[in-house]
Chains A and B, each alone.
Chain A
Amino acid sequence: GQQVMQIPQYQHVQEGEDFTTYCNSSTTLSNIQWYKQRPGGHPVFLIQLVKSGEVKKQKRLTFQFGEAKKNSSLHITATQTTDVGTYFCAGPGTYKYIFGTGTRLKVLA
């Protein structure tokens, strides 16, 4: 069945360093979504990408959808302690989205 994998599984960075998580799908996606879950909290929708090669920015966060629409990335510039949490990507399946395995980010002050 359709699978969505993310790497790395964990990432520890010093505050101020950059961070990137990668999302790979076993099938071509019509769109991809990204979510953030703070420790102890619930996932919150961040953004949806639809077009091949699309790049969107939200302040220090840059989201990219691959040309083949099978992969995506989230890059955070100059991480802050508020960026701590788990980042999930999700791709559409049949009547539901398939969530990636998640990347847990820890920021060391």
Chain B
Amino acid sequence: DGGITQSPKYLFRKEGQNVTLSCEQNLNHDAMYWYRQDPGQGLRLIYYSQIVNDFQKGDIAEGYSVSREKKESFPLTVTSAQKNPTAFYLCASSTRQASRYGYTFGSGTRLTVV
């Protein structure tokens, strides 16, 4: 079955540590996105990529980094510079135009700083 997989589902991080969230898709989508969602809030865009080896900052990129070395993969690193990283992180993918079928989201990673 085609889909988008995020791992791990739950992640605990100590303050000062970097952590990397995985996002893999087998939908042959060109575009991939990372969103942050805080409890009861909307979706805030962190980074997005329209094509391999290229990505752009979203609205809240500070303290995060990404790479897009393969079409299928778009990992997100939450660095120690991110002061309040506890949140629900959602990865999504789409065709370049995202038309007709919209974004396909992964099931998310819940990151908690302990």
Q: Do A and B bind each other?
A: yes
B48 and A96 within 8 A (CB): yes
Q: Which chain A residues border B100 with CB–CB below 8 Å?
A: 48
**Interface: B108 (CB within 8 A):** yes
Q: Is the interface of B mostly helix, strand, loop or mixed?
A: loop
B105 and A42 within 8 A (CB): yes
B90 and A92 within 8 A (CB): no
CB-CB contacts of B87-114 with A at 8 A, as 1s and 0s? 0001010000011111111111000000
CA distance A11 to B106 in the complex (A): 26
A48 and B107 within 8 A (CB): no
Q: Which chain A residues border B106 with CB–CB below 8 Å?
A: 42
A residues neighboring B (CB under 8 Å):
31, 33, 35, 41-45, 48, 88, 90, 92, 95-97, 99-102, 104
Query: Besides A88-B43, A96-B33, 19 other CB < 8 A contacts?
Result: A31-B99, A33-B102, A42-B108, A43-B92, A43-B105, A45-B103, A45-B104, A48-B99, A48-B101, A92-B98, A95-B31, A96-B48, A97-B98, A99-B42, A99-B43, A101-B42, A102-B41, A102-B43, A104-B40
